[in-house]
Structure formats: structure tokens, C-alpha cells
Amino acid sequence: MKKFVCVLVLLAAASALVFAGGTAAAPAKTLVYATTEHLTDLDPSNAYDFHTWELFQNIGNGLLKYEPGKTEIIPGLAESYTANSDASEYTFKLRKGLKYSDGTPFNAEVVKWSVDRVMALEGDPSWLVTSYVDSVEVVDEYTVKFKLVGPVGFFPSVVATVPYFPMNPKLYPEDRWINDPSELIGGKYAGLGPYNLVSFKRDEEVILEANPDYYGAKPKVDRIVIRYFADATTMRLALEKGEVDLVYKTLNPSDIVDLSKNANYKTFKMSGPYIRYLCFEVSEGQFSDKRLRQAVGALINRQEIIDKVFLGQNQPLYSMVPNGMIYHTDDFKTKLGDGNVQLANKLLAEAGYTAAKPLVFDLWYPPQHYGDTEKDMVEVMQAQLQKSPAVKVNLKSAEWATYTDNFDTKQMKVFTLGWYPDYIDPDNYTAAFASSQGSPGMGIYFSDPEWDALFTKEQTSADPNVRKQVFEDLQMRWTDQCPTVPIFQGNLYVFTKKNVSGVNIGPTLIFNYEVLEIE
């Protein structure tokens, strides 16, 4: 027994000494960026999510890019470009003498190889290339010409997207896309961006170091460590304990409230592109009657959902076109309102539903896919809908795989869904749900030839007046037909320690690490 105690004392003394040892030395200017996001494929030919694109925008570069925080397009790897008279051919003059960090030279061949590869592999984002580009031609070592399928006035903004980024042909296999950097030929990443990918441990930590060969201004932060957290609570606590310097996506509502009030941290709040809405299966069954859809839409009380579930963090949304986007209107507010029990009862009565014979239906939701606030949201919605005595709602859930299956089987008549845009334009928020072509893929099955005609009109016109008129018309029609009912639009928050500056995320939602600074 005595021996045992002596050993314990010695151990305690030893650990006390060890405690005083201190942490391993780190090189100057490291910024730890915490997030709950996940990286998908480390390959532009198949990466199609915001976070992986964010990484590529910092470890790679496009021919053209956006000025940080702005919507102006500026030269990237291409010094300049010219278009032919009808905007169906674009010729880019590339910067000379650039090399990837493994020595591979950057030239027109590399650009052609990368774009051809994306088209050939047919990954998720490949349509961004194949819809516009017919072929790529190498004019000379530093000149490359894109021949398009037709006139595309906004091609510069398309070429700035990640699938067009010139990738190092020595590293990426020709015949398939890769998932991890360990699958690169040689195993190490080498790029042209302001940062280089130095170390990668999926869902744990990714280390980036400033690229000494970068053609632009040297980043002020030498090393960025992206730390992946499994849940928001841990991430918030990490910030409060000083373990991380910057937090972006996605904190719990209560964490956002607390951190915003805390003077020790800087808060950056932006209107996000992310929207949530309710969908109906409109081709068969009860909800083919638009009055019922309108009634449900009228009963939803957006602000109440936002206050209860998100502690006031998001914005109510009265159109499928997000707040702040061109041609947005608030028609749902004027036409149906929030928590409009009176209007709902009237519509329900017209359709034959009363307290004696209520409308009974299942409200479906995916319990994990959008976070666990989903459960709270549908519970609040259930209570709101049942404020009308003529409505009775059952809550039903299905995991995402089953949920998307159910689109095909038309099993879900009323269900929640969310949307992150492919590109920043009202078309992306509307056609996908209500065009005859796109609607079945969302389980909505809405089809109206007049609407299709309107969609075609706005897609083929470059005249902002024409498009404005079309979208205003569509949004007004939306409140009548209600294939979906918009609920809210998410806000994006970045929290940093006081010694961090340079966070500049503009309307493009591109996060440039190279302008970050830390003292």
C-alpha cells in the first residue's frame, strides 16, 4: 500500500514537470479556422459543394476571378481576354512564366487538358462546362481559345467557377476523379493559388501554407489550419477557449446569440443564399387543389418559426427568389400573409374542410440532413397549421436516402426542403421547382405550359427588363399556384477573435483567405 502511494506521488510530480513543458513551437502567423462543414472530392471535376469550392478558390486559381468582397471580375491566371463579336468565342492571354509548386509549367496546354478532363469525366459540376463550352483550342503557349456552343454573354462569370480551374496534369489522373489528395500521382498537391495544401486529414484537419510562387500579393497569414468539428457546440467552446481564431458555418442559434453579444469577438453577418421552403406533390391527391396549398401557405407564420427555432437568426422569405437578389418581390406577404387563420379557414371551407371534417395530412421532414433544428421547425409548423380547427397534421420523417426516393414514388404530399444555389440568379431558384422538366425531380410534379413559356423567355433573354417582368409575373403566379411555399432565408455568420481582420465575403460568397490578417 505504501509502495503504491509512493508511485502515485512520483507520477504526480512527473506530470507536474511535464505540464510546465509547454506546447510545441509553431511557425509565425497561424490562423485556425473552425467549421462543421465537410470536404467532398478534392477534384474540381466532381466537387460541387460550397466548402470544397472554397478550398479550391484558395489553393487554386481560375483564369478570371472576383475581387475579394466584390462582384467585379478581375484577371486571374489570365492577364486579359477578348471575345468575338457575338460572344461565342473567348480568347484568353495567360500570365507567363508561372509554375506549379512542383515545377510543372503553367500554359495553354494545361488549361485545355483540365477543361477537357472535366467534360470527359462527367462529374456533378461538369454541366457548368458542357452546357457552354464546345471545345478548347491551344492557339500558342500562352493563348487559349474557348469555342462555345452559342452566345454566352456572362461567360466570364462562368469561367471563374471552380470546374474551370487549371489543374496540374502531373498530379490528377486522366481517367477518373479523386477523393483524397493521397490519390494524387505522387501524393502531394501542387497548385497555383495563394495557398498550398500541405497536409490533409479528412474531417479533422487541413493545413495550408502560403505559396511562395504565387503570382499575386503574398498572403499575410503564413499558415491556415482548417479544423473540422463534428458539432457546433464543441466549435463554439473552442472559440471561447481561444483554441480557434475564426468560426464559419455552422453554429447553433443559441451560440450565435451568445457570441454576437460577446464583445470579445468580431461578428460578420451576411445574407446567405440558402433558403428553406415547403413543397407539395401537386399532381395527385388532396393537394392537387390549389386552395389547400394556399391555405397551408397562409397558416405558416415565418417570424414565429424564426424566433422559436432559430432565436431570431434568419430572415423571413416571401418569395422563392431570395432577399437581396435581383427581381425579388414579397408577394407571399401581401397575398397570403403569416398565420392567416381567417384566410385559411375560408379556403378550406370552400374546398369542403371544416372542424367537423378536417383536412388530415402528413408533414414530412428529413431529421438529419438540414441539422436537428428540423425537428423543432416541423413541430412549430404543426402547431401553426393546427391553429385552424379544420387542419390535422401528422409528422413523418425519413432519412435522406429514403426521402429522395419518395420523390419518385410520390409518397410525400407535403414536405420540407432546402436549396443552395448552383449559380446566383433567380432562374436557379425557380425553374428547378416549377418547370415541367425540373419539377418531378423535386417530387413536386408541377406542370403548366404558361409557366414553361415564361421560363424559356427569361432563360434566353439578356434584357434585364424582360427578365424582371417575367420574374415578377412568376412570383405573383407562385402565390396563386403555390407549388412551394417559401419560409425563410438563412444568414451566414463569421465570428473571429479580436486580433483577426480581413474577413471580406461579398455577394459572391467567396471566402478569400489571402486577405486575412492576424496579429
Partner 1 sequence: MKNLLRYIITRTLLTIPMILILVSLVFVVLRIMPGDPVKAMLGAHAPPEVIAQKREELGLNKPIIIQYFEYLGQLVRLDLGRSMILQQDVTQPIKEKLPATLELTLVGLLFTLLIGVPLGAYAASKRRSGRDFGIRLYGNVVYCIPVFWMGLMLQLIFGVWLNWLPIAGRTSARTFVSMFERTGFYLIDTLLIGDFGAFTDVLLHLVLPSLTLGIVISGVFVRLTRSNMLDVLKTDYVLAARARGIPERKVVYRHALKNALIPVLTMMGLQFALLLAGAILTESTFSWPGMGRLLVQRIYLRDYPTIQGVIVVYAFMVSIISLVVDLIYALIDPRVKY
Partner 2 sequence: MSAEVKSSSERNIRARFSPAGILGKPFRGLILVSRKYGAEWWIMIAGALIVSFMIIVAVFPAVFAPYGPLDQEAGGQLMPPQPGYPFGTDNLHRDVLSRVIFGARTILGVAFAAAILSSAIGIPLGLLSGFVGGILDRILSLIMDSVYSFPGLILAIAFAAMLGPGVVNITLAVAVIYIPTYFRMVRGQTLSIREEVYVEAARAIGARRWVILLQYIFPNVIASVVVIFSINIADAILTEAALSYIGLGLPAGIPDWGMDLSMGKKFLPSGTWWMITFPGAAISLLALGFTMLGEGLAEILNPRLLER
The site for partner 2 (CB under 8 A) is made up of 232-233, 236-237, 240, 252-255, 257-258, 307-309, 311, 365, 367-368, 372, 375-376, 378-380, 382-383, 394-399, 402
Given 3-state DSSP classes, what are the helix, strand and coil percentages for the chain, each rounded to the nearest 5?
35, 25, 40
Cβ within 8 Å of residue 395, ≥6 positions away: 362, 363, 365, 378, 379, 382
Residue 442 C-beta-side C-alpha neighbours within 13 Å: 29
State the maximum Cα–Cα separation within the chain, in Å, rounded to a whole number: 93
What one-character-per-residue DSSP string does 70-127 give?
SS-EEESSEEEEEE-TTSSEEEEEEPSS-B-TTSPBP-HHHHHHHHHHHHHHT-GGGH
By CB under 8 A, how many residues form the interface with partner 1?
Answer: 45
Three-class SS state of 409? helix
Tell how strand 246-248 and strand 484-497 pair up.
antiparallel
Beta carbon of residue 258, minimum distance to partner 2 (angstroms, whole number): 5
Three-class SS state of 148? strand
Do the Cβ atoms of 18 and 473 come closer than 8 Å? Answer: no
Q: Which is nearer to partner 2, 258 or 289 (CB)?
A: 258
| Cell numbers that stand for 382 in this block | 404543426
| x-marked contacts with partner 1 along 233-262 as a string, rule CB under 8 A | xx--xx--x-xx------------------
| Cell numbers that stand for 214 in this block | 504565387
**Within 391-430, which residues bind partner 1 (CB under 8 A)?**
398-402, 404-405, 407-408
- Could you say which of partner 1, partner 2, none residue 407 binds, taking C-beta under 5 to 8 angstroms by partner kind? partner 1
Cell 469525366 found at: 121
**Within 163-182, which residues bind partner 1 (CB under 8 A)?**
178-180
Residue 112 C-beta-side C-alpha neighbours within 13 Å: 17
Residue 263 C-beta-side C-alpha neighbours within 13 Å: 0
What distance, in Å, lies between the first and last C-alpha atoms of the chain? Answer: 53
Query: According to the binding rule CB under 8 A, does residue 15 interact with partner 1?
Result: yes
Beta carbon of residue 398, minimum distance to partner 2 (angstroms, whole number): 7
Among 21, 97, 212, 449, binds partner 1 (CB under 8 A): 21
Strand-pair partners of 80: 93
Query: According to the binding rule CB under 8 A, does residue 2 interact with partner 1?
Result: no
| x-marked contacts with partner 1 along 357-396 as a string, rule CB under 8 A | -----------x----------------------------
- Could you say which of partner 1, partner 2, none residue 382 binds, taking C-beta under 5 to 8 angstroms by partner kind? partner 2
Least Cα distance to 161 among 84, 258, 63 occurs for 63
Least Cα distance to 451 among 465, 466, 468, 471 occurs for 471
| Cell numbers that stand for 212 in this block | 511562395
| Cell numbers that stand for 150 in this block | 452559342
Beta carbon of residue 502, minimum distance to partner 2 (angstroms, whole number): 27
**Within 316-355, which residues bind partner 1 (CB under 8 A)?**
none
Q: Which is nearer to partner 2, 9 or 383 (CB)?
A: 383
- Could you say which of partner 1, partner 2, none residue 244 binds, taking C-beta under 5 to 8 angstroms by partner kind? partner 1
Beta carbon of residue 183, minimum distance to partner 1 (angstroms, whole number): 8
Query: According to the binding rule CB under 8 A, does residue 34 interact with partner 1?
Result: yes
Beta carbon of residue 243, minimum distance to partner 1 (angstroms, whole number): 4
Three-class SS state of 497? strand
Beta carbon of residue 307, minimum distance to partner 2 (angstroms, whole number): 8
Near partner 1 by CB under 8 A, which window of 18-26, 86-94, 374-382, 456-464? 18-26
Q: Which is nearer to partner 2, 290 or 308 (CB)?
A: 308
Q: Which is nearer to partner 1, 222 or 405 (CB)?
A: 405
Three-class SS state of 415? strand
Q: Which is nearer to partner 2, 69 or 371 (CB)?
A: 371
Beta carbon of residue 387, minimum distance to partner 2 (angstroms, whole number): 11
Q: Which is nearer to partner 2, 57 or 314 (CB)?
A: 314
CA dihedral 91, 148, 168, 63 (to 10 degrees): 50
Among 70, 96, 201, 269, binds partner 1 (CB under 8 A): 201
Do the Cβ atoms of 39 and 51 come closer than 8 Å? Answer: yes
Beta carbon of residue 365, minimum distance to partner 2 (angstroms, whole number): 7
Cell 462543421 found at: 36
Burial 397-408 (b: 16+ CB within 10 A, else e): ebeeeebeebbe
- Could you say which of partner 1, partner 2, none residue 124 binds, taking C-beta under 5 to 8 angstroms by partner kind? partner 1
Beta carbon of residue 269, minimum distance to partner 2 (angstroms, whole number): 19
Query: According to the binding rule CB under 8 A, does residue 210 interact with partner 1?
Result: no
Query: According to the binding rule CB under 8 A, does residue 24 interact with partner 1?
Result: yes
Tell how strand 133-140 and strand 143-148 pair up.
antiparallel
Query: According to the binding rule CB under 8 A, does residue 32 interact with partner 1?
Result: yes
Binding interface with partner 1 (CB under 8 A): 1, 15, 18-19, 21-24, 26, 32, 34, 41, 124, 178-180, 199, 201, 203-205, 207, 225, 227, 229-231, 233-234, 237-238, 241, 243-244, 368, 398-402, 404-405, 407-408, 441
